[in-house]
Chain A
Amino acid sequence: MAEEKDFTIQNYLEFIQNKKLMGSKCKDCGKLYAPVRKLCTKCNSLNMEWVELSGKGELAAFTSITVGTPYFIDLGYDRNKPYCFSVIKLEEGPMVSAQLVGVDESKPDLIKIGTPVKVKFLENELKGETNIDLGFEPA
């Protein structure tokens, strides 16, 4: 059962590998954290529970990157094929960083902040291995 897992980064990331966006919720004050946190910084409680998030939210801020990180260069992105890094405000409140897909990255001026989005777990193949990365696309 999800509730038994410790509130660690590794467990949060493993949920994502299993295509689940999970957060931790403070049982004392109700504050919700994603990515996961073990200590509630609102009320100092350690009394947390795992909750699954709907994966719905809206685009809070973004960029389209032409000079990318080594991982994204390995995934085939470059000046002619930029990718979008975004900050997503989830409907439950927290914000997360993720790749934004399903948009025209080469026309970033057409991408609008406030656009409703939904989670899309990205299956990235690299060196024979499949990695699941957190992504979002327009809803």
Chain B
Amino acid sequence: MGKLSKRVAIVGAGMSQFGQLFPLKRNPDLWVDAWVNAVKSVDNGIAPKDVDACYVGNYSSDLFNHQGHLGPQMANLVGLTPKPASRFEGACASSGIALRQAIIAVASGIHDVIAVAGVECMNQLPTSLVTDALATASDALFEYPAGATFPGLYATVASAHFHKYGTTSEDLMRIGIKNHENGAENPFAQMQRTIKQLMQSKLKKLEEQGKDLPNWNDEFDYLRSSSNPMIAYPLRLFDCSLVTDGAACVFVASEETARNFTDTPIWIAGTGQGSAALSIHDRDDLTGFIATREAARQAYEMSGYGPKDMQIAELHDCFTIAELVALEDLDFYEKGKAAQAIKEGETKRDGVRPINTSGGLKSKGHPVGATGAAQAVEIFKQMRGRAERNRQVKFDVERALTHNLGGSGATCVVTIYEK
């Protein structure tokens, strides 16, 4: 138990543009864009005939687009029908689960190559209905009637963390600032601007309107101002991820076939998945996520590596607090110690262990069901030294990790990659 029966690799990965793209782009358009970019990334080429199945991660096309049954729809668009095509759902961890299931299926020997898709087109609904659709990933029986929104549940976790460990809003702001700095270097990101740049354009706008100019010395002043409205205390607008349309595609291949596609496959060293009660009131610890701890435990055990071996990671920053908590749940830092490490710059692109070089969900965007696959896309690029613009880390990445969290932490998938 707890081992793959043979080695599995990623041989190609690509994503569509992320953004507020509806109606210019809908799920089929986004997915084909992602597929085309993933195909381009396969060094020796890949064709539909090489692919045995299509695993689609999607949270809620039913609510966002009034469309279910995405498996065959997506498979057909890239020439994969009549092969097996299925959809996997685990809220924001949907394509993390699809990736994991593809890894398991390939390791079992039943398939050699699987195309993993992540797709979500959220902007077909106005924000209020998006919020309502997302809320179905938390507990609809007891939390929702008590007024819980998605930001509200993460804010509640934040309140417990603040209380127990003295974490502050400024600690969270540093996470947003960093992720926007990374996203500014990602041509596929939804918000390719640093918070400083956003602050400067706000100032310019106010100046043009002839309004009194606020006295902002730095990004922190801007983030503390009414330009960054409270959504759910202590989380403000810039603590929240974006509402995004986007897709990602990852090709998973068996040990026997991987080298046909590339001389530099990225191997799966470990995979783990955990769960927790849907309602946060049914969990013992409100300052962290047990599902992450369980997924990480399995993935570390399978890989034989520990947290210290992970050189870069893409963490699920659906809210800034979630990145901070993940750093602790993954044992990158002791409980209550992540904030100080962030302050010292350890998680920046030039820090000791860069986190979310892609810009994360905060700046790259968060098309919920596509996020897990998109995290793997960034790791694939970074490990092969091919991240765009100035985003490539300055050292050779031998081992990396992705952390994909579903809902208010009731599902988590952790994947560990090696060269």
Bound CA span A71–B147, Å: 8
> Which residues of chain B have C-beta atoms less than 8 A from A64's C-beta?
230, 232-233
In-complex Cβ contact of A67 among B141, B149, B156, B281 (8 A)? B149
> Which residues of chain B have C-beta atoms less than 8 A from A116's C-beta?
none
In-complex Cβ contact of B282 among A67, A72, A95, A114 (8 A)? A95
Are B229 and A71 in contact, with the CB atoms below 8 A?
no
Query: Does B148 count as interface, using CB distance less than 8 angstroms?
Result: yes
Number of contact residues on B: which range applies?
35 or more
Most buried by A among B132, B135, B280, B281: B281
| B174 shortest CB reach to chain A, Å | 19
Bound CA span A85–B148, Å: 6
Contacting residues of chain A (56-80) with chain B, CB-CB under 8 angstroms: 60-72, 79
In-complex Cβ contact of B149 among A69, A88, A98 (8 A)? A69
> Which residues of chain B have C-beta atoms less than 8 A from A67's C-beta?
131, 149, 151, 231-232
Query: Does B128 count as interface, using CB distance less than 8 angstroms?
Result: yes
Q: Given the interface contacts A68-B147, A97-B142, does A63 sit within 8 Å of B155 by beta carbon?
A: yes
Most buried by A among B128, B145, B157: B145
Query: Does B163 count as interface, using CB distance less than 8 angstroms?
Result: yes
Query: Does B332 count as interface, using CB distance less than 8 angstroms?
Result: no
> Which residues of chain A have C-beta atoms less than 8 A from B128's C-beta?
70
In-complex Cβ contact of A87 among B132, B156, B158, B234 (8 A)? B156
| A39 shortest CB reach to chain B, Å | 14
Query: Does B354 count as interface, using CB distance less than 8 angstroms?
Result: no
Q: Is the interface of B mostly helix, strand, loop or mixed?
A: helix
Contacting residues of chain A (88-120) with chain B, CB-CB under 8 angstroms: 88, 94-99, 108-109, 113-114
Contacting residues of chain B (192-232) with chain A, CB-CB under 8 angstroms: 229-232
Are B231 and A66 in contact, with the CB atoms below 8 A?
yes
Are A62 and B159 in contact, with the CB atoms below 8 A?
yes
In-complex Cβ contact of B132 among A60, A61, A69 (8 A)? A69
Bound CA span A97–B147, Å: 9
Which residues of B are in contact with A by a Cβ distance under 8 Å? Answer: 128, 131-132, 135, 139, 141-149, 151-152, 155-160, 163, 229-235, 279-282, 286
Given A63-B155, A97-B279, 15 other A-B residues pairs in contact with their CB atoms under 8 A = A61-B286, A63-B233, A63-B234, A65-B152, A65-B233, A66-B231, A69-B144, A70-B128, A84-B147, A85-B156, A86-B156, A95-B281, A96-B142, A98-B146, A133-B145
9 contacts between A and B (CB under 8 A): A9-B141, A61-B159, A62-B156, A63-B235, A72-B147, A85-B146, A85-B152, A113-B163, A133-B146
